Amino acid sequence: MSQYQSDFLNTIVARGQFHQCSDMAALDAALKPGFMGYIGYDLTAPSLHVGNLAQIMLQRRLQQAGGRPIVLLGGGTTRIGDPSGRDESRQLLSEEAIAANRTSIRSVFDKFLRFGEGSSDAIMVDNSEWLLGLNLVEFLRDVGRHFSVNRMLTMDSVRLRLEREQPLTFIEFNYMVLMAYDFVMLNRDLGCRLQMGGSDQWGNVIMGVELGRRMDGAELFALTQPLITTATGDKMGKTAQGAVWLNPDMTSPYDYWQFWRNTHDADVGRMLRIFTDLPLDEIERLEKLGGAEINEAKKRLADEATKLCHGEAAANEASETARKTFEEGAAGEALPTLKVAGEIGLVDALVGLGLVGSKNEARRLITQGGARVDGEAAGEDVSIRVAGDVRISAGKKKHGLLVP
């Protein structure tokens, strides 16, 4: 029996995507077809990463339930930088860099959300539309007066920075004010009544709810989902080589597939619920697999997640490449490649293929016996002559090709 009237709430609870809500009963009653909910994404890099994907999937669930997601690009707030979870200020980006990031990021959302003019079609807006033209004195008078500095100092994004005796600039201190104002503007312009985000954003989100009530008497809602961490306690979407990006030019479909394939056994069911559209009964079957059979569940996770982000053809190619590489010992077409004229050292090969993040890491791997050339362990001083394809391996799961 369903716990809520709304398919959206029932779905996100069942899939482990719910953490906290400002008024669950009232939101449940308000969630009719076409109901709008937004999440903001600052434009700090040319691509979003797997850490952002949990938020995108939350908006996907809203659309699947008949709601209308709003993607808010932070063309304005990126000029300040969110201080949440950081001990130092973000690097301020130029207008040109922000514009380039906006162009690069936009296409990612088309893979997960349907945009258009229909009642459940997604909308994309940029907060630079209302933030860049603000008059400071009028903004302080009309908006700033609704914020208590005493309360702002208790917010995690501010409190933790101060407790660690790290500097917090005045501009960062006001990030939460602009974020709250975004909610007011989206409610005024589009009728949006729900802001969603990760649980670490709760303080910022609830401030928007309160600002809407104080300025316009609007009934707005806040909803967050848990921060996604792995069974080892690591932050979701981070590897030894850095972030796992959603743009294929920054993380290849093969490496993306491999990231999901390498999921910890204890995380498989949770990742399937959040990052795929597989039915819950199928997920329950997969997560019960034991022993070596759990690898089949990991492959299914990798296939489904890669299909969503990069398409079915790329997912199939990555899966086939992995099968050939690991099961047949052959060289698959989707492996990362490095063109070499003549000879190359093993350290440079490992770094050039992106199998390690630095030369020091490459040397450590070689010293530990984890580097192989065409399946044979090799030392740091080896010189690899590339007359044909040469397979380089870093451990058991990461491979690349040197090509002439």
Look at residues 298, 328, 358 and tell me which one is the last residue of a structural domain.
328
Q: Are residues 106 and 89 in the same domain?
A: yes
Q: Are residues 309 and 364 in the same domain?
A: no
Chain centre distance of CA 262 = 17
CB 312 within 8 A of CB 253: no
- What is the pLDDT at residue 241? 52
Smallest CA-to-CA distance from 65 within 7, 152, 15 is with 7
- What is the pLDDT at residue 278? 97
Smallest CA-to-CA distance from 202 within 271, 154, 166 is with 154
**Domain at 125, CATH number:** 3.40.50.620
Q: Are residues 268 and 200 in the same domain?
A: no
- Residue type present at position 109: F
Identify whether 256 is part of a domain: yes
Each of the 404 residues of the chain gets a pLDDT tens digit; together they read: 579 999 999 999 999 999 999 999 999 999 999 999 999 999 999 999 998 999 999 999 999 999 999 999 999 999 887 666 555 556 778 899 999 999 999 999 999 999 999 999 999 999 999 999 999 999 999 998 998 888 888 877 777 777 777 777 788 888 889 999 999 999 999 999 999 999 988 988 999 999 999 999 999 999 999 988 877 777 776 654 568 999 999 988 988 998 999 898 899 999 999 999 999 999 999 999 888 889 899 999 999 999 999 999 999 999 998 887 766 555 666 778 888 888 899 999 999 988 888 888 888 889 888 888 877 788 888 889 887 678 888 887 788 888 87
Identify whether 97 is part of a domain: yes
- Residue type present at position 160: L
- What is the pLDDT at residue 332? 61
Q: Are residues 148 and 256 in the same domain?
A: no
CB 187 within 8 A of CB 30: no
Q: Are residues 84 and 107 in the same domain?
A: yes
Smallest CA-to-CA distance from 400 within 337, 333, 321, 324 is with 337
Look at residues 307, 328, 349 and tell me which one is the last residue of a structural domain.
328
Identify whether 305 is part of a domain: yes
Identify whether 33 is part of a domain: yes
Query: Computed from CA positions of residues 258, 263, 265, 268, in that sequence, does the dihedral angle turn out positive or negative?
Result: negative
Q: Domain of residue 74: give its range.
A: 7-225
Look at residues 328, 363, 379 and tell me which one is the last residue of a structural domain.
328
Q: Are residues 191 and 80 in the same domain?
A: yes
- What is the pLDDT at residue 37? 98
DSSP assignment letter at 5: S
Q: Are residues 265 and 202 in the same domain?
A: no
Identify whether 1 is part of a domain: no
Q: Are residues 66 and 190 in the same domain?
A: yes
Q: Are residues 161 and 47 in the same domain?
A: yes
Please state the domain count of the chain: 3
Q: Are residues 323 and 346 in the same domain?
A: no
Q: Are residues 271 and 345 in the same domain?
A: no
Q: Are residues 216 and 140 in the same domain?
A: yes
